[in-house]
Structure 1
């Protein structure tokens, strides 16, 4: 699946399954990357929670990483490539970030990954 197209098909609330097809959470937030040729500016990103376009780069970054302590290198990669943030299942489960190349497919059944939950970037 092409990277840009994969993110365009993802919607808030979709179930997320790891490569073994175990449900690991639900989509919380989708952010288009600045390398998407169809969205020449990061401002074209969207907040799936609200279904609204936010035209402020700093507001998008703040919403995407609120209270997260991600290393700068990972944060930059996520913003450049785009990402999906999932609300992980389980009482003590941390939310995770999915990079576009970790998406196997998107369908009516949900978002299928080509990695395990442990291979996803963990939200602190």
Structure 2
């Protein structure tokens, strides 16, 4: 049977900026401000930089404004797997990073997560 709704093997491919993000119980996490699909060639903080990934031959450094703004080893993992950057509600709330495998589903304009807010990575600055 064919469905009229296009499907994608990876939910992150269906995410666009401006979508709402909710945790497994439907609590608001924030709004998507950036989407980066994974790049298996992205460099790692542990390996010598020699790939053609999104950062070329550089290890991500948050001091220079590279995204994602997290410690270098985590940044490399996020770049390899793909991530969303989410603007959290609240004046003093930090943006959050969501790994591609933490996305359970995408329904219309809502991204549903497999984990709660406490398990998400906050922006470093």
Tell me the SS of whatever aligns to 2:77. helix
Give the deviation of 1:4 after TM superposition: 6.0
Q: What's the RMSD between the two structures over aligned residues? A: 2.6
Which 4+ residue blocks in structure 1 deviate beyond 6 angstroms?
A: none
The 1:71/1:4 distance shift into structure 2, 3 A limit, reads farther
Q: Structure 2 unaligned runs (5+)?
A: 1-7, 42-51
Determine which of 36, 48, 57 is the counterpart of 1:31. Answer: 36
Tell me the SS of whatever aligns to 2:67. helix
* Residue 5 (structure 1) aligns with: 10
Deviations 1:2-41 (A, max 9, x none): x9621110000000001111111000000111139xxxx7
The 1:57/1:14 distance shift into structure 2, 3 A limit, reads farther
1:1-124 map, 5 Å: 5-35=10-40, 42=53, 57=56, 62=65, 64-65=67-68, 68=69, 70-124=70-124
Aligned length: 102
Higher share in helix = 1
Deviations 1:21-68 (A, max 9, x none): 1111000000111139xxxx745xxxxxxxxxxxx758xx65523xx3
Which of structures 1 and 2 has the larger relative contact order (alpha carbons within 8 angstroms, sep 6+)? 1
Aligned mates of 1:8, 1:35 — CA distance in 2: 15
The 1:64/1:72 distance shift into structure 2, 3 A limit, reads closer
